[in-house]
Amino acid sequence: MKYSPEQLALIEQFAALYTKPSEIAVYLDIPEEQFRSDINSEGHPARKHYIKGKLTQKLEIRKQMATLARVGSPAAIEMSEKALLDMEDDE
């Protein structure tokens, strides 16, 4: 499916706010199966915007985690170590 620039911006915005794909589809008034297919299709613009929206929040959470780890939060330190190992596994 082809999405307008406005729809792509909404997809990104909603994904950044933890909105479920089914809810985004309803808001955009498109079939849920179609939207799910689009965000699971490599190279599709909807996928790019959906992932970018999710990454926006992930980055904010990681920034907060790093800040808490630097001030000595045991849970944040443990999560930071796991995140670093995950990075190494993905390299």
Q: State how far the Cα of 45 lies from the Cα of 39, in Å rounded to an integer.
A: 8
Question: Nearest Cα to 39, choosing from 52, 27, 56, 57?
Answer: 52
Distance CA 32, CA 34 (A): 5
C-alpha distances out from residue 69 to 60, 61, 85, Å: 14, 12, 15
In the structure, what pLDDT confidence band is assigned to residue 71 with cuts at 50, 70 and 90?
A: very high
Per-residue DSSP letter, 41: S
Residue 22's nearest CA partner among 38, 36, 4, 9 is 36
Task: Specify the pLDDT at position 77.
Answer: 95
61-70 pLDDT, tens digit each: 999 999 999 9
